[in-house]
Structure 1
Amino acid sequence: MASVNVPEELRPVAVVGPTATGKSDLALSVAEEFGGEIVNIDAMQLYRGMDIGTAKLPPADRRGISHHLLDVLDVTETATVAQYQQAAIGVIEELIGNGRMPVVVGGSMMYVQSLLDEWSFPATDPQVRAKWEAVLAESGVGAVHAALTAADPVAAASILATDGRRMVRALEVVELTGKPFAASAPQIGPARWGTRIVGVDRDTEELDARIRLRTEQMFDTGLIDEVRALIEVGLRDGVTAPRAIGYAQVLAYLDGEYDLSEALERTFVGTRRYVRRQRSWFRRDSRVRWVDGADPNLVSAVISGLATPVSDA
């Protein structure tokens, strides 16, 4: 599958994998080597002002390399996979047309799949969505999970029982299409544009230590003040932004639900749990070429591998 005829030297590179493995630095080195530009594929980095809690690279650390799809949404707007897919395809094909290699980097699982695979999204219906969102708001995730179990047991078993938003979407799709939610799943095959996919991971114990350190640094360097500033521009009114790991915990701290140490610990635990999901998701994709983020020769090995054309199965 390819939307445009892509010369070998401009085939995109996607650097994916769990949080805190070192994807951003590797992606910058790849872009630097091949004259590429960065395309963000982290859902929460789409939001303006969500910088510390998303580990967004400050402009001074971007090595003068252009970055795309950062800071494109207000925190009151809802990030959706379908909207991202459309925007990212446009950016990538424009870069290729301008002779620039797209280097896609991030760990938002469904966003990655929507970009690289054939995935058509069922239509939405505001009334149907609102009906199930009202159930979620009034009766909680348990009621939504029960409704999904009755309507589509396979979907209910495959979606985290705490992921109310995704269960609402599944119920909406089932009601609108009359088909199981899985019928709208992406068809995995050759990656769009012949994209080379590099997965970065680390030893679990080492990665947990990095997550702990990153979490502590976020709280030490102003995450609470960042959240306070975002509240002033409508963070609490958003659908996706206030649920982001770190932001949700700080909001609860500011509301008196947790003390500071508990907010930090819950952020760490939530991030670690998310990392396990990312690892499981990306490891199922046989197209990913895995590398160790702790390898001292990581950059040279990846660049060497990318410089050598490989026939994708």
Structure 2
Amino acid sequence: MSSTPRSPQVQVVAVVGPTAAGKSDLGVELARRLGGEVINTDSMQLYRGMDIGTAKLPESERGGVPHHLLDVWDVRETASVAEYQRLARDRIELLLAEGRVPVLVGGSGLYVRAAVDRLEFPGTDPEVRAALEAELAARGSGHLHQRLADADPAAAAAILPSNGRRIVRALEVIAITGAPFTAQLPGPDEDQSVYRTLQIGVDVARPELDARITTRVDRMWEAGFPDEVRRLEQAGLREGRTASRALGYQQLLASFAGEHDEATAREETVRTTRRFARRQDTWFRRDGRVHWLSGAAADRAQLPGLAWELVEREFGR
């Protein structure tokens, strides 16, 4: 199937925002009302078996709405935004051809942009990549993250200091193109949309979001998250350059290796997830096309209705 995009008049909805804000439930409700289907834009939910730790919505909570681009990659595979873009565009085109509305749901900002914006990804340079990976192995991700912060502060703000793979890629792009990594992304004031997309951001105040993240991690452990990571470890999780660094998975793998105890892994998962949520919020706040709605507990009952009003206003539904 061709991944050639249609005109910008096509209707797509994207539900975005930080982790634990309530995107998944809203995405299901909008897809149900629109007669649409959900397309995942969470980079880690693309991995098979990474269910509990990524808060992958179980079948019983999907309301009969088909979900796409879940469980695509083996945990040993390295994630590729370019490959995701191809998969997402193909799925969007198929749904549109069937008269179904694609509802993108997830908090991986670059994946959302890859799906709906006119985004091209520079190639790779084996020599540059090898040199950066050697430096990563010798000096650690923190050192390279500081270099990225000096060269491209916006990219450094969006990438965790522990995410060596993404830091290496950003520095590689800078070396190849001679321009900041974020220069490859169209600015929010540029008309670079491939589809006529309504982006709805789910906003939760920091204290409440931090509390939700703590509760989510507690429930992950209650649901058997350590057992999930042990099973995936046997399936090659440690070999995966991307999956092994996922929040919670990285901390438990370190615990299994004797670097710290499980209680510390749990605490570190809470801490790093809170920090990651702040980075997600920063990423999406830069895009003026996002319409923000409150996902606070006090406003949760009104959220679907307000989101539907946005859809009707944007698309005349």
TM-score (norm 1): 0.90
Aligned-partner SS, 1:107: coil
Aligned-partner SS, 1:39: strand
Aligned sequence identity (%) = 50
The alpha carbon displacement at 1:60 in A equals: 1.8
Q: Tell me whether 1:58 sits opposite 2:63 in the alignment.
A: no
Residue in structure 1 matched with residue 181 of structure 2 by the alignment: 181
Q: Deviations over 1:246-300 (max 9, x none)?
A: 1011111111222222111100011100111111111111111111113121112
Q: Deviations over 1:121-158 (max 9, x none)?
A: 11113343122112111222355356657xxx432674
Counterpart contact for 2:155–2:170, Cα < 8 Å:
no
Name the aligned partner's letter for residue 92 of structure 1: I
Residue in structure 2 matched with residue 168 of structure 1 by the alignment: 168
Counterpart contact for 2:7–2:194, Cα < 8 Å:
no
Residue in structure 2 matched with residue 221 of structure 1 by the alignment: 223
1:1-313 equivalent positions in 2, closer than 5 A: 3-5=5-7, 11-145=11-145, 153-155=150-152, 158-159=155-156, 161-188=161-188, 189-190=190-191, 191-294=193-296, 295=299, 296-309=301-314
Runs of 4+ in 1 over 4 A off after TM superposition: 145-149
Q: Deviations over 1:149-172 (max 9, x none)?
A: 7xxx43267415544323311332
Name the aligned partner's letter for residue 309 of structure 1: E
Name the aligned partner's letter for residue 23 of structure 1: K
The alpha carbon displacement at 1:37 in A equals: 0.2
Name the aligned partner's letter for residue 71 of structure 2: D
Name the aligned partner's letter for residue 155 of structure 1: D
Structure 1 pair 274–179 and aligned structure 2 pair: CA distance change class (3 A): closer
Aligned pair count reads: 305
Structure 1 pair 147–305 and aligned structure 2 pair: CA distance change class (3 A): closer
Counterpart contact for 1:78–1:239, Cα < 8 Å:
yes
Counterpart contact for 2:6–2:194, Cα < 8 Å:
no
Q: Deviations over 1:171-217 (max 9, x none)?
A: 32233334443442334434331110000011221111111100000
Distance, in Å, in 2 between the alignment partners of 1:279 and 1:156 is 16
Counterpart contact for 1:95–1:101, Cα < 8 Å:
yes
Distance, in Å, in 2 between the alignment partners of 1:244 and 1:20 is 16
Moved more, 166-175 or 58-67: 166-175
Distance, in Å, in 1 between the alignment partners of 2:308 and 2:91 is 23
Structure 1 pair 187–213 and aligned structure 2 pair: CA distance change class (3 A): same
Q: Deviations over 1:82-122 (max 9, x none)?
A: 11112111110111111000000000011112222222111
Counterpart contact for 2:41–2:112, Cα < 8 Å:
yes
Counterpart contact for 2:107–2:280, Cα < 8 Å:
yes
Aligned-partner SS, 1:199: strand
Structure 1 pair 162–233 and aligned structure 2 pair: CA distance change class (3 A): closer
Unaligned 5+ runs, structure 2: none
The alpha carbon displacement at 1:309 in A equals: 3.4
Name the aligned partner's letter for residue 165 of structure 1: R
